[in-house]
Amino acid sequence: MTESSFFDLRTTLNLLERKGELTHVTGEVDWDVELGVVTREVMRRNGPALLFENIKGYHHSGARCTRLAASILGSFRRIALVLGFEEDTPYNTMVEYVLEHNAKLIPPVMVDSGAVQEHVLTGNQINLYDFPVPRWHHLDGGRYIGTMGCVVTKDPDTKRVNVGIYRSMIVDECRMAALLGGTQGWGLIFAKYKERGEPMPVAFVFGWDPIMEFIAGTPVPPEICEYDVMGGYRGAPAPLIKCKTVDLEVPASAEIVIEGSVSPDPATYAMEGPFGEYSGYVADVPAKRPVIQVSAITHRNDPIFRGTLEGALPGTCGENSYLTSIQRAAIARRIMRNAGISGVLQTYVHPITKGTSIVVQIKKQYEGQPKQIAAALWGDRSSMYQNKIVIVVDEDIDPSDYEAVDWAINYRIDPGSDDLVIFRGIVGSALDPGSPPENRLVAELGAGIWNRLLIDATKTWRFPRRAEWNNQKFPPVSTNRPADIERVKSKWSSYRFTNWKTEF
């Protein structure tokens, strides 16, 4: 396994097609709700990535953009391919790879020209409705253009560039309203522009190397630029090009870039929301929010729009769920290593939780170890939207197996003891529908408030050793002895089971 050369979106789609992980949707699909429903139903069937090629109102002569790509990162198989592995690569191998490569930094390089500026639209040429932006859910307040677009901003003091993924909705032909959280990367930068009374330059990038989406969709330390991390993953500098109307740099081979600025003046704000969020719920109410005033749109010849269906629901997790699973498992492992906590064997994030819960498998070395793990995770900035529930299990429990974890929770904890620890009133997600509304008032609180939970599902060391338990502190598990299994295996065919045939 070596670092791959840089992809663009089209190279990625070709790779997925060769591996049987892409389908072309050639029948007409309406951008209004139907496209989102199709995407959800393909996800429900563990289907491939989708390239919509016949979107209602956008498949005619002269259409600026006719195609939309979705679900590229919607399975561990496809993430493995994008990382440069074979599709059957184990989860833990990818987590270790990501943990290593998140720390490999290669700064980007500027280039003079790029395919993303084959077409440059300004003034009256700007029309966001030229692109097949879906209304993904029937409860959405509008057409959400920012679902898998990478948002580029720059700190006015340090000049450090931030690249994140933040939701945004079309207001009209040249404006987008966005949920601009004050604790997010671009929110911290926006606060500085607000103090200056100046608009914040911004660029939305749609359709480039999906590793950029993989990185931008998860927390990176504030002093590090995501473009540098991108270089480390691909083993070469990311080729960037100057924007046409704002002082920002964007990938030269992207499909589409929307340039603009965000005014700090509340009089310019517009209604945004509701939106089917990552939790699978429509978790907030419409409100007046900051607006991106578009100053230019640049794009490739025959561009491909990039979007994703948000909302993790049982049986239908999307690409944000899968990329979050691997990245947040790796980030948690990094936090614990930096804290000097030994004995951590695996970290696993079930995609359905998107990192709201994490399971940590340990070789237990002392009784307070699970509490130390929770304290380290909860004290790290990256846990703003993750690790609400931390579950710690022993080495005999597979953290990826819900049944095994549930068994440990049922038979290795005492609910009346400190096996359950609640940490109240700590910073957390403002989009969690399980939190009381008063804990989600970002305008008043500055961030969401969470009550967090540790479930110590490890075997306690507080019990006395007992001779009946082979001098151990916890009773033995009633598994079959290897010798007994071998005896049954040797006689398997002699049992002559009726109406059932299987090999041992």
Higher pLDDT, 497 or 263: 263
pLDDT (0 to 100) of residue 34:
96
Q: Specify if 483 maps to a domain.
A: no
pLDDT tops 50 at residue 403: yes
- For residues 302 and 324, state if they share a domain: no
Q: Specify if 424 maps to a domain.
A: yes
pLDDT tops 70 at residue 151: yes
Q: What whole-number distance in Å separates Cα of residue 327 and Cα of residue 101?
A: 11
Q: Specify if 338 maps to a domain.
A: yes
pLDDT (0 to 100) of residue 439:
83
User: The CATH number of the domain where 362 resides is what?
Assistant: 3.40.1670.10
Domain boundary at 306, 338, 358, which? 306
pLDDT (0 to 100) of residue 412:
95
- For residues 347 and 288, state if they share a domain: no
Count of CA atoms in the C-beta half-sphere (13 A) of 171:
21
pLDDT tens string 320-345:
999 999 999 999 999 999 999 999 99
pLDDT tops 90 at residue 7: no
* 139 three-state secondary structure: coil
Domain boundary at 306, 330, 356, which? 306
- For residues 146 and 241, state if they share a domain: yes
CA distances from 412 to 311, 345, 459 (A): 32, 19, 5
Q: Specify if 34 maps to a domain.
A: no
| Strand pairing class (22-25; 168-172) | unpaired
For 357-402, give the DSSP string.
EEEEEE---STTHHHHHHHHHHTSGGGGGS-SEEEEE-TTS-TT-H
The pTM for the full model equals 0.90
User: The CATH number of the domain where 140 resides is what?
Assistant: 2.30.110.10
Q: What whole-number distance in Å separates Cα of residue 401 and Cα of residue 413?
A: 18
Residues whose CB falls within 8 Å of the CB of residue 343, separated by 6 or more in sequence, listed in order: 362, 363, 364, 365, 369
Count of CA atoms in the C-beta half-sphere (13 A) of 392:
29
pLDDT tens string 456-469:
999 998 888 888 88
- For residues 222 and 132, state if they share a domain: yes
- For residues 213 and 149, state if they share a domain: yes
- For residues 270 and 148, state if they share a domain: yes
pLDDT (0 to 100) of residue 5:
65
Contact predicate 259/248, CB 8 Å: yes
pLDDT (0 to 100) of residue 4:
53
Q: Specify if 388 maps to a domain.
A: yes
Higher pLDDT, 201 or 278: 201
pLDDT tops 90 at residue 381: no
pLDDT (0 to 100) of residue 448:
86
Residues whose CB falls within 8 Å of the CB of residue 443, separated by 6 or more in sequence, listed in order: none
pLDDT (0 to 100) of residue 336:
95
Average pLDDT over residues 149-167: 95
Q: Specify if 50 maps to a domain.
A: no
Domain boundary at 456, 471, 493, which? 456
- For residues 209 and 336, state if they share a domain: no
Q: Specify if 380 maps to a domain.
A: yes
- For residues 115 and 242, state if they share a domain: yes
Which residue reads 């906590």 in tokens? 341
- For residues 289 and 344, state if they share a domain: no
Q: How many domains does the chain have?
A: 2
Average pLDDT over residues 10-33: 95
Q: Specify if 469 maps to a domain.
A: no
pLDDT (0 to 100) of residue 3:
44
Nearest to 118 by CA among 248, 241, 299: 299
pLDDT (0 to 100) of residue 383:
87
- For residues 275 and 176, state if they share a domain: yes
- For residues 284 and 163, state if they share a domain: yes
pLDDT tens string 84-117:
999 999 999 999 999 999 999 999 999 999 999 9
pLDDT tops 70 at residue 169: yes
Nearest to 248 by CA among 65, 64, 108, 124: 108
pLDDT (0 to 100) of residue 190:
94
pLDDT (0 to 100) of residue 6:
67
pLDDT tens string 276-306:
888 888 877 899 999 999 999 999 999 999 9
Average pLDDT over residues 149-168: 95
Q: Which of 124-133, 174-183, 285-294 has the lowest mean pLDDT?
A: 174-183
- What letter does residue 98 receive in the DSSP assignment? H
pLDDT tops 90 at residue 451: yes
- Provide the domain limits for residue 327: 319-456
- For residues 152 and 241, state if they share a domain: yes
Average pLDDT over residues 364-373: 95
Q: What whole-number distance in Å separates Cα of residue 333 and Cα of residue 349?
A: 11
**What does the mean pLDDT of the chain come to?**
93
Q: What whole-number distance in Å separates Cα of residue 320 and Cα of residue 72?
A: 10
